[in-house]
Chain A
Amino acid sequence: MTTTVERPLGKVPVAERGPRRPGRFRKHLWSFVFLIPMLLLFGGFTVWPMIASWWYSFFNWDGVGSPTDWVGLANFREVLGADSFWRAFWHSFVFSLAAIFIEMPLALVLAILLNNSWLRFRNLYRLVLFLPVVATTAVIGIVIAILLDPAGGLVNRILLDTGLVDQPVNFLGSTSIALPTLLSIDVWKGFGITLIYWLAALQTVPRDLQEAAAIDGAGFWRALRFVTLPVVMPIAIVILLLVFQRSLNTFDLVRAVTEGGPDYATDVVPTYIYRYAFDPSLQAPRYGFASAAGVVFGLLTLVVTVLQAPLLKRRMGGDR
């Protein structure tokens, strides 16, 4: 009985696929038309730049006219041999580490707290914590730079008045403190968005599951460990990737607050590239060299992302 039913069912699509194949594209003609604008923008501003960066990186080129001075791998050799590039790369990476290991856990703790319906004013708290996300980074960077100014800046005045320090702290001008200062500002600035991500993740924990845990006598920690965290884990990986992606693009803050200084102590790869390609004080821009730096940065990012891919795949597999 089953075989007679199965056979025609299995056969129908096979029989139909042949004659329908040419019509398949015709049927979707309009869909392809609808895809054209996206393909143009995506092709022009994402795919092409990826390929073109490779091409440019083989030239010694100042951006005027088209590249003609082929130098082979010289730019790459220079990038890979430049301590300044590796330092900028390390700083970019440090921003990621701070976002992943400081911002993400802190935001999770606060999200768990702010997710409790018994907490009064929780919407107000969320709003306040989210404000820095909406504010323009360049503006915030400048305002904070004023507040942290060693000569008369408010933070230093408070520190001096309360006797916590006996000399003004040069938050942004000292090679050893500038980077931690910027990292703190970055955490402050990005905290709200990570908080929202976590709150979204916590919303996916089914209420009856929590209630069941409570009935079974699970306390707060046990419920967190055995109910909340396992449910949230797959989304946590997505959040990790989002946070990672954002931190790699750190540019505004560094550019506005320290311009990568003092003595390149806060330089990140985007400011490094900007300096070689666009800085108005440049005599001759080095597009080729900056492109090589971009390519190396892109490749290294790819490596890190690919290392995370198994995690991502597990999430996809677990979901569907």
Chain B
Amino acid sequence: MTGRWRVVARRNIWHLLLIPLCLVWVYPFVWMVSAAFKTPREMLIGGLSLMPNDATLENFRRAWTTAKFGTYTANTITFSIAVVILVLLVASTAGYALARPGLPGKKILVGILIATMFIPHGYTIIPTFVLVNGIGLGNGLLGAALAQAGPALVVPVLLFMGFFSGIPKELEEAARMDGAGYLRTYWRVMLPLAKPVLGTVALMNFIGAWNAFFIPLVFTLGNPDLRTLGVGMYGFYGQDTTDWTGLAAAACISVIPVVVVFLFLQRTFVEGIAGAVKS
């Protein structure tokens, strides 16, 4: 009996380590939410209390309209969805093609793709910027989305390739027997089967695009109205007098949607990453 008790104690002792660690981990988030509801006065006076004395929504109103976070949110949504659609379409077609047995040049292509995975973005940003301007998409969200999606393709292509390679040949042969061509087989048979990969890739790239900073920053330098949330946040900070509570409200607007999306779809996301690491 005492032995059993000792096991229980030994197992639960870990919580003494984990709970403080987790409190430290989430503290910045809790602080951010709390500050967003405080009045600027209360914020200045300080105090360590996380519960605002008289909670106000005024900060959110200011951030949403005066600081243009409404516009930035719309831009971020447009940008993120464009990136996700681009990546899904391009990576699934390429992954499907690369999964065909006996495709000439496949090994070389896959090799090149993998080799470029480790190229730092700092290296490629200038020509990317020149190219997007050159094709007339500079200072636009579509141009930024192309620049974001382009280098983000390798892992999704490999994921789709791995998935489609694992589908039994008989299925495709059956589709062909029924008179389905290449396109129809891909669209009607293979793509619906690939739902788990589609979900993972969509979520990974959505979160990536929502949080993107380097590409949107560089591509919206000439047009502040096209800023995304991350970039807009940063512009906020640069002003001479900083509106701390407005800033906290803006931070909530930027972070909370993606955290909520993640909470709902975390299983897909985590399993997707896990699958990508394993394969």
Residue A72 is within 8 A (CB to CB) of chain B in the complex = no
A146 closest partner in B (C-beta)? B244
Residue B210 is within 8 A (CB to CB) of chain A in the complex = yes
Least distance between B189 CB and chain A CB atoms (Å): 14
Q: Identify which of residues 230-275 in chain B touch chain A, using a CB-to-CB cut-off of 8 Å.
A: 230-231, 233-234, 236-237, 244, 247-248, 251, 254-255, 258-259, 262-263, 266, 270, 273-275
Least distance between B22 CB and chain A CB atoms (Å): 4
Residue A136 is within 8 A (CB to CB) of chain B in the complex = yes
Chain A residues touching B, majority SS:
helix
Residue B128 is within 8 A (CB to CB) of chain A in the complex = yes
Residue B89 is within 8 A (CB to CB) of chain A in the complex = yes
Which of A49, A118, A269 is the most central at the interface, judged by chain B CB atoms within 10 Å of its CB? A49
Chain B residues touching A, majority SS:
helix
A152 closest partner in B (C-beta)? B46
A34-B97, A238-B277 known; A137+B211 contact, CB < 8 A: yes
Quick check: which of B57-65, B114-122, B170-178, B194-202 contacts chain A, the rest being far away? B114-122
**Which residue of A48, A53, A130, A252 is within 8 Å of B213 (Cβ)?**
A252
Residue A134 is within 8 A (CB to CB) of chain B in the complex = yes
Quick check: which of A164-172, A173-181, A195-203, A208-216 contacts chain B, the rest being far away? A195-203
Instruction: Fill in one digit per residue for B92-117: 1 if any A CB lies within 8 Å of its CB, else 0.
Output: 01101110101110000100110011
Q: What are the residues of chain A within 8 A of B254 when measuring CB–CB?
A: 136, 139
Residue A71 is within 8 A (CB to CB) of chain B in the complex = no
Q: What are the residues of chain B within 8 A of A34 when measuring CB–CB?
A: 93-94, 96-97, 186
19 residue pairs bridging A and B, Cβ less than 8 Å apart: A47-B112, A52-B130, A53-B123, A126-B270, A128-B22, A132-B25, A135-B211, A196-B270, A199-B274, A200-B277, A201-B278, A203-B278, A249-B120, A256-B234, A274-B218, A278-B217, A278-B218, A294-B124, A298-B119
3 A-B pairs with the lowest CB-CB distances in the bound complex, closest first? A45-B150, A38-B94, A200-B274
